[in-house]
Amino acid sequence: MINYLTPSNDIHEVTEDVRQTLKQQGVLDNDLVDHVIKHAFFNNAKLMADRGVDFWLYLGGYLPAVEWVIAKQNNESEDAFYERTQYPKSVIEAYSVEADDLATLVAADAFKNYHLGQIVANTSRWSLNEDEELFIDLSQFENRLKGFHS
């Protein structure tokens, strides 16, 4: 069972704080997800790539869910996404917040921040459950986000 730091109910409160902060900065409701993708994810990917670090790996099991959010923003169909990435649907479902892409991104960012100082850069193998019996090795997915993409 996938249960390692999956989104909890608390994420809705944090997401609402993020939503209100972005609105106060003038970001429109329909631009919130795109804004977070560009500013919190792609900008960090660029900064870390300049240091030889693959930012996307820090998202661990959340990476497939984040990529699904990005794919939806780019109008990629679900079938095309799964065919391209070959990610297990169970991982995406476990690390996604149903009907709230912004919450999925907020949860992924919290996961990344939690592990940033604890995990060796460019670690690709991540536990998916608290017993550390189930893993995902992101290096096995050739078409995953890598380094910096704009």
List the structure tokens of 18. 């993020």
6 lies in a domain? no
Inter-residue contact 67 to 86 (CB < 8 Å):
no
56 lies in some domain: yes
| Residue 150, pLDDT score | 46
pLDDT digits (tens, 9 = 90+) for 79-110: 999 999 999 999 999 999 999 999 999 999 99
Q: Mean pLDDT in the chain?
A: 95
pLDDT in tens, 119-140: 888 999 999 999 989 999 999 9
Residue 77 lies in a domain: yes
Q: Is residue 5 part of a domain?
A: no
Measured CA to CA, the distance from residue 42 to residue 37 in angstroms comes to: 6
In terms of residue numbers, what domain contains 119?
11-140
- Our count of domains for the chain comes to 1
- Residue at 149 is within a domain: no
The overall pTM is greater than 0.75: yes
Flag whether 3 is in a domain: no
Question: Which tens digits make up the pLDDT trace of 49-80?
Answer: 999 999 999 999 999 999 999 999 999 999 99
Q: Tell me if residue 55 falls in helix, strand or coil.
A: helix
Percent residues over pLDDT 70 in the chain: 98
Q: Distance of CA 1 to CAs 7, 58, 135, 139, Å? A: 14, 21, 11, 21
| Residue 48 confidence (pLDDT) | 92
- pLDDT of res. 149: 55
The structure tokens listed for 130 are: 């608290």
